[in-house]
Structure formats: C-alpha cells, structure tokens
Amino acid sequence: MAQLGFVGLGEMGSRIAIRLFQAGHTLTLFNRTRAKAGPLLAMGMHWADSPRLVATQSDVTFSMIADTTALHAITQGDEGILRGLSAGKVYVDMSTVSPQEIRELSAQVAARGAHMIEAPVSGGPGYVEQGKASLMVGGERAVFERLLPLLTAIGPTVSYVGASGQAMSLKLAINLSLGVQMLAFCESVVLAEKAGISRETAVEVLLKSVAASPMLAYRGPMILHMPERAWFTSAMLQKDMLLALELGRGLEVPLPTTAVMNEMLTAARAMGYAEQDFASLFDALARMAGVQVVR
C-alpha cells in the first residue's frame, strides 16, 4: 500500500483516484472546489487543505487539471505542490499541457531533489471506469519502472515514450486525431441525413463500416444521445488543438486538418457549444447545413 496524493478531481481525475483507491492505496485529495471530493471522502479517502499539504503527506502525488494556468495554480507559490516535495518523492502530472511546460516543471521538481514523470491518459471517463484506458509516460525510465504497478492500476496499457515532454507530444498527436476523426464522422452523418437517410441509420452503418474506430465506437452514438455531463468539452479540445498547432509550428510540421478542426471548434463555441461535449460538433455542423437538431 502506498501513500498517494491526488490534486484535481474533474471527470477524469476523480475516476483515476477511485481506481488507485480500489487498488488498496491511501489517498489524500485536494480540489479547488471541495464539494467535488465529497463522494471520494465518503469512500474513505482523505482531504488536505492545499496542494502543498497533499505533496507533504504523500510519497507519490498525482495531478490532473484543465490547462497551463491551472497547473501553475496548483504547483507554484507557498501552497503549491513544489513546496511539498522533498528528496525521494515523486510527482506525476496527467494533464494535457505543452511539452515545454512539462520540461520546465520537471526541472523545478528535480531542483528539490524529487522526481517527475508525465503520464497523460488516452480514453474518456468510461474507459477509466472500465479499466481500459491507456497511459503514455515521459521522464526518467527508472522512476517509470518503479511506478509501473501504480500506473497499471489506472489502465492496463502503459507505454514508456521517452524523455520529459515526449509523452505530452504524443498525447497532443493523439488528441488532434480524435478531433479530426470526429469532425469527419459528423460531416458524413450530416451529408447522409441531408441526402434523405435517417440520422440513426447513418450512425449505425458508419459504425459498422471500415471508417469506424475505437474512439468513434463510444463517441459516435453521442450525436444521437448527448451525455448530460460533458466527457471532453469543445473548449478543452480546442485548447489541445492550439497546443498541437503550436508544437507543429515549432517543429515545422504542417497540420492542415488540425487547423480546419480548430476553426470548426471556434464556430461551435460561438454557437454556444463551448462547455458541451465535443460531440456537439455535429449540432454546429448540422445548423450550418440547415439540418434540424432536436435535443
């Protein structure tokens, strides 16, 4: 049993914390809004009043938050995670931010005698609950190997990618593909529907065709029945698209479909879909095509 900490209890973070707890570990939690921790505290997890205290009380501290601003908020300053780290402790960030941000933070962690790895997750909340999520890891290989039993408690497929920042680069590469695939799927359904084929039939046939993918298998049906709580909002996906475009510019890699996807997300947000799951791209595209959407 390990003494673990977890900072950031959103849709993904809370589910990851539960999996670690169910694997027999002790967890100390912090979230900006304490109410989100209520169900986890009722299960037997513990609360700390700051990210610093979480890190102080834990051998390994995990975090999963929305963006770079939030990462700074939980790591920096007198009450940040960095102040709670000391020699031998490990910090694992599972957020999706820029690779450069991760490299800079890793250097700050090392300056305190601690270790850091990044472990972004592929797969939505449902995949985490079912134990089907996959993780990619960047950082010191020896630390990765030491933490492997903890990481496999989160998801069965854990891949070591390389040095600090490389797992984050791969996560951005994966996420841009998710967005582009979903947009193409939505285009296909809207086109079929406007040609006189029912939306339900189009979705069913597409998901049985060679165009289907594991991501579309669970997210495609959302265009028929949108989840009440967004798994991955349009705003969050656009944050990742912008990070991918920034990385592409720096590496001189053209990302034309990513750029188009980014523009479509801007349109969707302007239509009011910013905080809805990015499956709402279908609604935005349908409105552009004059196809009625009833929810």
Do residues 16 and 73 touch, judged by C-beta distance below 8 A? no
- Whether 229 has a pLDDT exceeding 90, the answer reads no
**Radius of gyration for the chain, computed over Cα atoms and rounded to the nearest angstrom:** 20
- Note the pTM of the prediction, 2 decimals: 0.93
> How confident is the prediction for the chain on average, in pLDDT?
96
Q: 107-161, pLDDT tens digit by residue?
A: 999 999 999 999 999 988 888 999 989 999 999 999 999 999 999 999 999 999 9
Q: Sign (positive/negative) of CA torsion 262, 267, 272, 276?
A: negative
Q: Per the structure block, which two tokens stand in for 255? A: 């990302």
Confidence category of residue 294, pLDDT binned at 50, 70, 90: confident
Mean pLDDT of 243-269: 97
Region of 291 on the Ramachandran plot (φ > 0 left; ψ -120 to 50 alpha; else beta): beta
Letter for the amino acid at 247?
Answer: L
Q: What is the set of domains in the chain, with CATH numbers?
A: 3-162 (3.40.50.720), 169-289 (1.10.1040.10)
Block residue for tokens 């797969």: 123
The tokens 């359904």 sit on which residue? 189
